[in-house]
């Protein structure tokens, strides 16, 4: 990536990606940039409250409250390219320690080369010893209060070896083409601050409730820790020695970063839209405030986000839940759901969804239709795959073909009568097409009610049920005794092309310790492709993308979910914030070059 961050860049994304972008930027010439820390304060609203901030140490942080300040305090081992949303090296990608990496031919060793021009803010060079310290701390798990977000990385990277000051090698148990996802989760920590020396005895429990949790004074990012005033704000100051990724501003321009507490989103938006100097001038995904912000003269960027909603359909016999695989790894017959066991029924329901009505209604227009299982910003998205058309006649024809015939009075004006089984595959003759659609409230209940009306048009009766989160997942979806549920996922960054976590037989587990394959979906070709994506020798990217796209196409045809939408994300900055140039899911990638004119 060749970045000149004082120039506006446009994203060359797939045609399926719909981005609403309205940014008015004042482009500064290089000689007009202010000096280090002379650019005014970036003030971000925080509705969660700094009194419950959590540890300001990455591997011990378990929520967004501490993750937001950590993002501008700490260096990354492996960076995320804001344009491609894939991993890349420094210095092209800001605040990234790795200059490159290689994976051995057998896929069992990842060797990471480190830059020699990065230092902690006390002047101590950042070396492989710091990375090794972090890795070893992660191996201690609960003894250091390790956040669950890092547990998979700790288990995947089974060994580490310091080759020299600028080189470290990680060992993995089995070849894994997504191993860099785990390597990226080893954030360098300053070993000298904790008094750690490799090979010497160390009290790992001392990392819990260490003074550094609340006041990490030795970091390496565009900002340095200054102070926390619980109930008021988190204050970070510009790091004058920060090494920026290009020459246009080789330092941090804003004088500070302030995470100011607000009681709720309405107050946060009100303060932001007042555009008062020194008050909130940057907001992220402000919930219901999209319309207010987009109609103001704020700089704003809207794009499909990582949160996506769907309708999970139980394909298996709800009266006889089974795990997906036996002890020898062979598929177990799941039986059939009396209604959803027939793929024609599932496809008919997808045809009956008017997604525009849903997006324009509960989402107020701030959503992007999903075609299949891949979020619109994913690098593996298939540009040739089109959403199954909204077509009541096509839906009715499929239901007729599947032996679900319309009888009696219409369920809604102009719609079909309640359908019953007359030659259907898995239900008893005369069974009514009635099912329960669960949700946990909020916008998902509004979506459920619209789906209830849309499905009634084709003679399908939906009983909408609102449950609390644990009841819906633990007692119904996890138990695999449910019919259908409106639920959601948050996609990873980068998007994970192997989708077996949600649709693979190994994750078809019911009861305590349930897996995420709630539909009990199984497709042998899908499983083969997932293995290719995960373990292809040499990890050829083009071949892996092709396999991932075929997985998406299979899910499109088999419809274990009814695909709904990705919720749009929004970044907004006040008119006086210069250099605001966001990408999808990367609103602050160049925050070190922002210039807040006061």
Q: Are residues 115 and 133 in the same domain?
A: yes
Domain termination site, one of 208, 241, 263: 208
426-478: pLDDT as tens digits: 999 999 999 999 999 999 999 999 999 999 999 999 999 999 999 999 999 99
Euclidean distance between the first and final Cα of the chain, in Å? 32
How far apart, in whole angstroms, are the C-alpha atoms of residue 336 and residue 316?
4
Distance of CA 412 to the CA centre of its chain: 38
Q: Is the pLDDT of residue 422 over 60?
A: yes
User: pLDDT tens digits for 339-358?
Assistant: 999 999 999 999 999 999 99
DSSP 8-class letter at 125: B
Are the beta carbons of 67 and 46 closer than 8 angstroms? no
Same structural domain, 126 and 146: yes
Answer with the residue of higher pLDDT: 110 or 53: 110
The neighbouring-strand residues paired with 438 are 465, 485
Q: State phi, psi for 545 to the nearest 5 degrees.
A: -65, -40
Q: Within 13 Å, how many C-alpha atoms sit on residue 73's CB side?
A: 30
Q: Which residues lie below 8 Å from residue 29, measured CB to CB, with a gap of 6+?
A: 6
Domain membership flag for residue 215: no
Identify whether residues 260 and 113 lie together within a single domain. Answer: no
- Whether residue 537 sits in one domain with residue 491: yes
Residue 290: pLDDT over 90: no
Q: What does the alpha-carbon distance between residue 319 and residue 290 come to, in Å, rounded to a whole number?
A: 44
pLDDT in tens, 399-408: 999 999 998 8
* Residue 556 domain-assigned (yes or no): yes
Domain count for the chain:
3
The span from the CA of 46 to the CA of 271, in Å, is: 12
**Position 32 confidence tier, pLDDT thresholds 50, 70, 90:** low
Q: Which of 141, 132, 172, 11 is nearest to 82 (CA)?
A: 11
Tokens of 443: 């916008």
* pLDDT at position 438: 98
CB 483 within 8 A of CB 340: yes
Q: Are residues 409 and 520 in the same domain?
A: yes
- Has residue 213 been placed in a domain? no
Helix then strand count (H, E) for the chain reads 16, 22
Assign residue 248 the CATH number of its domain: 3.40.190.10
What are 128-152's pLDDT values in tens digits?
999 999 999 999 999 999 999 999 9
The answer on 514 and 475 residing in a single domain is yes
Q: Which helix (H) or strand (E) holds 461?
A: strand 461-466
Domain boundary, last residue among 163, 187, 208:
208
Q: Which residues contact 44 (CB under 8 A, 6 or more apart)?
A: 68, 257, 258, 259, 260, 280, 282, 283, 284
The CATH number assigned to the domain holding 165 equals: 3.90.76.10
For residue 26, the model assigns a pLDDT of 38
Residues 282 and 343 in one domain: no
Give the span between the Cα atoms of 273 and 300, in whole angstroms.
12
Confidence of residue 9 (pLDDT cuts 50, 70, 90): very low
- Summary mean pLDDT of the chain: 91
Region 479-492: mean pLDDT is: 95
The range of the structural domain enclosing residue 48 comes to: 1-73+221-298+574-598
Q: Examine the domain organization and report whether 129 and 140 are in the same domain.
A: yes
Q: Is residue 17 part of a domain?
A: yes
Confidence class for position 534, pLDDT limits 50, 70, 90: very high
Two structure tokens written together for 392: 């009541």
Tokens of 504: 């693979």
Q: Residue 50: its pLDDT value, please?
A: 79
Structure pTM? Answer: 0.88
> Nearest Cα to 304, choosing from 355, 364, 376, 365?
376
* Predicted confidence band of residue 248 (pLDDT cuts 50, 70, 90): low
> What is the predicted pLDDT for the residue at 285?
78
Answer yes or no: do 348 and 364 share one domain: yes
Give the pLDDT score at 62. 85
> Residue 30: pLDDT above 80?
no
Residue 120's pLDDT is 97
Same domain, 88 and 116: yes
- The DSSP H or E segment spanning 155 is helix 151-156
Query: Does residue 79 sit in the same domain as residue 131?
Result: yes
Query: What pLDDT band is residue 278 in, cutting at 50, 70 and 90?
Result: very high
Q: What is the pLDDT of residue 53?
A: 85
Summarize the confidence of residues 52-70 as an average pLDDT: 88
Do the domain assignments include residue 147?
yes
What length is written for the chain?
Answer: 598
Alpha-carbon distances of 429 from 250, 338, 413, 422, 424, rounded to whole Å: 73, 11, 26, 5, 8
**Tell me, what DSSP letter sits at residue 474?**
I
Longest dimension (CA), the chain: 80
Of all residues in the chain, what percent carry a pLDDT higher than 90?
Answer: 82
| Strand-pair category, 41-46 with 256-261 | parallel
Do 170 and 240 share a domain, yes or no?
no
Q: Is the pLDDT of residue 17 over 50?
A: no
The CATH number that applies at residue 397 is 3.10.105.10
Domain assignment of residue 214, yes or no: no
Which of 163, 180, 208 terminates a domain? The answer is 208
Residue 166 lies in a domain: yes
């Amino acid at each position: 990536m060749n970045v000149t961050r004082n120039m506006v860049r446009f994203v060359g994304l797939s045609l399926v990606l719909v981005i609403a972008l309205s940014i008015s930027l004042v482009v500064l010439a290089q000689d007009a940039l202010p000096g280090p820390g002379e650019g005014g304060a970036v003030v971000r609203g925080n509705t969660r409250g700094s009194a419950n901030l959590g540890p300001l140490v990455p591997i011990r942080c378990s929520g967004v409250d501490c993750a937001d300040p950590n993002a501008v305090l700490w260096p990354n081992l492996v960076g995320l390219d804001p344009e491609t949303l894939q991993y890349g090296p420094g210095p092209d990608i800001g605040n990234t320690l790795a200059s490159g990496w290689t994976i051995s031919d057998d896929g069992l060793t990842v060797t990471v080369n480190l830059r020699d021009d990065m230092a902690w803010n006390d002047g101590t060079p950042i070396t492989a010893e710091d990375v090794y310290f972090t890795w070893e701390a992660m191996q201690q798990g609960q003894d250091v209060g390790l956040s669950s977000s890092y547990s998979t990385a700790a288990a995947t990277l089974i060994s580490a070896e310091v080759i020299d000051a600028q080189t470290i090698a990680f060992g993995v148990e089995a070849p894994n083409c997504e191993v860099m996802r785990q390597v990226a989760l080893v954030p360098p920590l300053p070993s000298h601050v904790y008094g750690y020396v490799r090979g010497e005895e160390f009290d790992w429990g001392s990392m819990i409730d260490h003074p550094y949790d609340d006041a990490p004074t030795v970091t390496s990012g565009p900002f340095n820790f200054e102070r926390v005033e619980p109930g008021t704000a988190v204050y970070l100051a510009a790091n004058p020695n920060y090494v920026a990724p290009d020459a246009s501003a080789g330092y941090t321009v804003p004088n500070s970063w302030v995470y100011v507490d607000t009681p709720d989103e309405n107050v946060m938006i009100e303060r932001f839209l007042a555009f008062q100097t020194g008050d909130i001038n940057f907001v992220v995904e402000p919930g219901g405030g999209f319309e207010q912000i987009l109609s103001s003269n704020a700089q704003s960027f809207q794009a499909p986000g990582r949160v996506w909603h769907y309708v999970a359909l139980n394909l298996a016999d709800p009266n006889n839940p089974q795990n997906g695989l036996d002890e020898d790894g062979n598929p177990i017959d799941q039986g059939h759901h009396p209604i959803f066991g027939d793929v024609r029924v599932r496809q008919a329901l997808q045809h009956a969804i008017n997604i525009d009505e849903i997006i324009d209604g509960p989402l107020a227009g701030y959503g992007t239709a999903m075609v299949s299982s891949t979020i619109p910003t994913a690098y593996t998205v298939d540009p040739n795959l089109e959403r199954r058309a909204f077509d009541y006649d096509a839906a009715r024809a499929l239901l007729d073909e599947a032996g679900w015939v319309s009888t009696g009075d219409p369920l809604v004006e102009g719609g079909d009568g309640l359908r019953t089984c007359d030659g259907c595959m898995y239900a008893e003759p005369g069974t009514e097409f009635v099912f329960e659609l669960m949700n946990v409230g909020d916008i998902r209940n509004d979506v459920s009610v619209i789906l209830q009306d849309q499905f009634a048009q084709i003679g399908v009766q939906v009983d909408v049920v609102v449950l609390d989160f644990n009841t819906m997942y633990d007692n119904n979806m996890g138990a695999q005794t449910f019919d259908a549920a409106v639920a959601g996922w948050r996609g990873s960054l980068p998007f994970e092309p192997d989708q077996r976590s949600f649709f693979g037989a190994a994750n078809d587990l019911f009861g305590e310790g349930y897996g995420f394959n709630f539909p009990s979906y199984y497709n042998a070709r899908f499983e083969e492709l997932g293995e290719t994506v995960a373990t292809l020798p040499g990890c050829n990217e083009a071949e892996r993308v092709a396999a991932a796209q075929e997985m998406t196409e299979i899910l499109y045809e088999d419809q274990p979910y009814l695909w709904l939408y990705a919720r749009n994300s929004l970044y907004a900055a006040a008119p006086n914030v210069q250099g605001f140039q966001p990408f999808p899911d990367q609103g602050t990638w160049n925050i070190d070059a922002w210039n807040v004119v006061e």
